[in-house]
Amino acid sequence: MPHKDHLLLPETSDPTRYRESQKVTWVSILVNMVLTVAQISIGLFAHAQSLVADGFHSLSDLIADLMVLLANYHSRHPADESHPYGHHRIETAASLALGLLLAGTGAAILWSAAVRLQHLDELPNVAPIALWAALAALAAKEGLFRYMLAVAERLRSPMLVANAWHARSDAASSLVVAAGLGGSLLGYRFLDPVAAILVGFMILRMGLKFTYESMRELVDTALSDEEVERIRTTLRETHGVLGLHELRTRRMAHQVLADAHIQVDARISVSEGHRIAETARRRVLGEHPEVLDVLVHVDAEEDLPPGTRGAALPEELPERTALLEHLRRILDADALNVNFERVLLHYLNNRVEAEIFLAREIWDDTVRLTHLEQRRSECLASDPYFSAISLSLRIAPNQCEYPNRAS
Instruction: Examine the fold and report which residue of 198, 218, 238 is the final residue of a domain before the chain moves on.
Output: 218
Name the pLDDT band for 236 (thresholds 50, 70, 90): very high
Q: What digits encode the pLDDT tens for the residues 97-123?
A: 878 888 888 888 788 788 878 877 767
Residue bearing the bigger pLDDT, 404 or 156: 156
Identify the pLDDT of residue 1: 35
Question: How high is the pLDDT of residue 11?
Answer: 39
Contacts of 81 (CB under 8 A, 6+ apart): none
Dihedrals phi, psi of 386, to nearest 5 degrees: -95, 130
Higher pLDDT, 54 or 303: 54
Q: How far apart are CA 269 and CA 248, in angstroms?
A: 26
Report, as an integer, the average pLDDT of 176-204.
82
Rounded Cα distance, 42 and 35, in Å: 10
Q: Where are the alpha helices (DSSP H) in 237-312?
A: 270-287
Judge whether 12 lies within some domain. yes
Q: Is 170:28 a contact under the CB 8 Å cutoff?
A: no
Structural domain includes residue 376: yes
Query: Do 11 and 131 share a domain, yes or no?
Result: yes
pLDDT in tens, 264-273: 988 888 889 8
- Mark whether 41 and 140 lie in a shared domain: yes
In a domain, 308, yes or no: no
Residue 376: CATH number of its domain: 3.30.300.20
In this prediction, residue 305 carries a pLDDT of 52
Q: Count how many Cα atoms sit within 13 Å of the Cα of residue 167 in the half-sphere of its side chain.
A: 30
pLDDT exceeds cutoff 80 at 196 = no
Could you tell me if residue 57 is inside a domain? yes
Which tops the pLDDT comparison, 9 or 178?
A: 178
135-147 pLDDT, tens digit each: 998 999 889 888 8
Residue of 128, 135, 116, 126 lying closest to 196 (CA atoms): 116
Three-state secondary structure call for residue 28: helix
pLDDT of residue 3: 36
**pLDDT attached to residue 12:** 40
Cα-flanking dihedrals φ and ψ of residue 11, to 5°?
A: -60, -30
Q: What per-residue confidence (pLDDT) applies to 359? A: 86
Q: What pLDDT is stored for residue 293 in this prediction? A: 87
Q: What is the number of other CB atoms lying within 10 angstroms of the CB of residue 239?
A: 8
Domain shared by 211 and 235, yes or no: no
The answer to whether residue 315 is domain-embedded is no
Same-domain pairing of 196 and 246:
no
Question: What is the spatial distance between Cα 18 and Cα 26, in angstroms, rounded to a whole number?
Answer: 12
Is residue 136 located within the same domain as residue 256?
no
Q: Are strands 243-252 and 255-263 parallel, antiparallel or unpaired?
A: antiparallel
Measured between its terminal Cα atoms, the distance across the chain in Å is 33
Whole-number Å distance between alpha carbons of 240 and 262: 10
Is 205 in the same domain as 229?
A: no
Q: So what's the pLDDT on residue 312? A: 45
- Per-residue pLDDT reduced to its tens digit, 331-340: 988 888 888 8
Last residue of a domain, one of 299, 333, 353: 299
In a domain, 310, yes or no: no
Task: Identify the CATH number of the domain in which residue 12 sits.
Answer: 1.20.1510.10
Residue 68 neighbours by CB distance under 10 Å: 27
Predicted local distance difference test score (pLDDT) of residue 303: 58
- Using the predicted structure, report yes or no on whether residue 88 has a pLDDT greater than 60: yes
Q: Which distant-in-sequence residues (6+ apart) come within 8 Å of 272 by Cβ?
A: 240, 264
Share of the chain above pLDDT 70, in %: 83
Query: Residue 313 region, left (φ>0) first, then alpha (ψ -120 to 50), else beta?
Result: beta
**Is 304 a domain residue?**
no
What are the C-alpha distances in Å from 136 to residues 53, 84, 181?
A: 16, 47, 13
Number of domains forming the structure of the chain? 3
- State pLDDT tens for residues 368-401: 889 988 888 888 888 889 989 998 887 765 554 4
Q: Which residue, among 58, 65, 66, has the nearest Cα to 34 in the 3D structure?
A: 58
The pLDDT of residue 124 is above 50: yes
186, 219 contact by CB (below 8 A): no
- Residue 239 structural domain: 225-299
* 90 and 11 within one domain: yes
- Cβ partners under 8 Å of residue 363, min gap 6: 369, 393
Model confidence at 59: pLDDT above 80 = no
Q: Mapping DSSP to helix (H, G, I), strand (E, B) and coil, where does residue 4 land?
A: helix
Q: Are 102 and 184 members of one domain? A: yes
273, 340: one domain? no
Examine the domain organization and report whether 93 and 117 are in the same domain.
yes
Tell me if 91 is assigned to some domain.
Answer: yes
Q: Residue 243 sits in a domain of what CATH number?
A: 3.30.70.1350
| Average model confidence (pLDDT) across the chain | 80
Shared domain for 70 and 181, answered yes or no, is yes
Kindly state the percentage of the chain with pLDDT values over 90.
15
Same-domain pairing of 137 and 62: yes
Which comes out higher in pLDDT, residue 41 or 169? 41
Average pLDDT over residues 15-28: 78
Q: Distance between CA 174 and CA 101 in Å, rounded? A: 18
Collect all residues with Cβ–Cβ distance below 8 Å to 49 and sequence separation of at least 6: 43, 112, 116, 123, 192, 193, 196
What sign for the dihedral angle of Cα 51, 53, 57, 62? Answer: positive
CB 211 within 8 A of CB 100: yes
Which of 39-43, 152-156, 389-393 is least confident? 152-156
**Inter-residue contact 184 to 318 (CB < 8 Å):** no
Q: Distance between CA atoms of 294 and 111, rounded to whole angstroms?
A: 48
Per residue in 198-211, pLDDT (tens digit) is 877 877 887 888 88
Single residue among 218, 244, 273 that ends a domain in this structure: 218
Using pLDDT thresholds of 50, 70 and 90, give the confidence band for residue 9. Answer: very low
Averaged pLDDT, 279-287: 93
Helices (H), 186-256: 191-218, 225-236
pLDDT band of residue 402 (cuts 50, 70, 90) is: very low
**C-beta atoms surrounding 335 within 10 Å:** 12
* Measured distance CA(331)–CA(325) in Å, rounded: 10
pLDDT at 13: 45
**Mean pLDDT along residues 338-359:** 88
* Model pLDDT, residue 407: 46
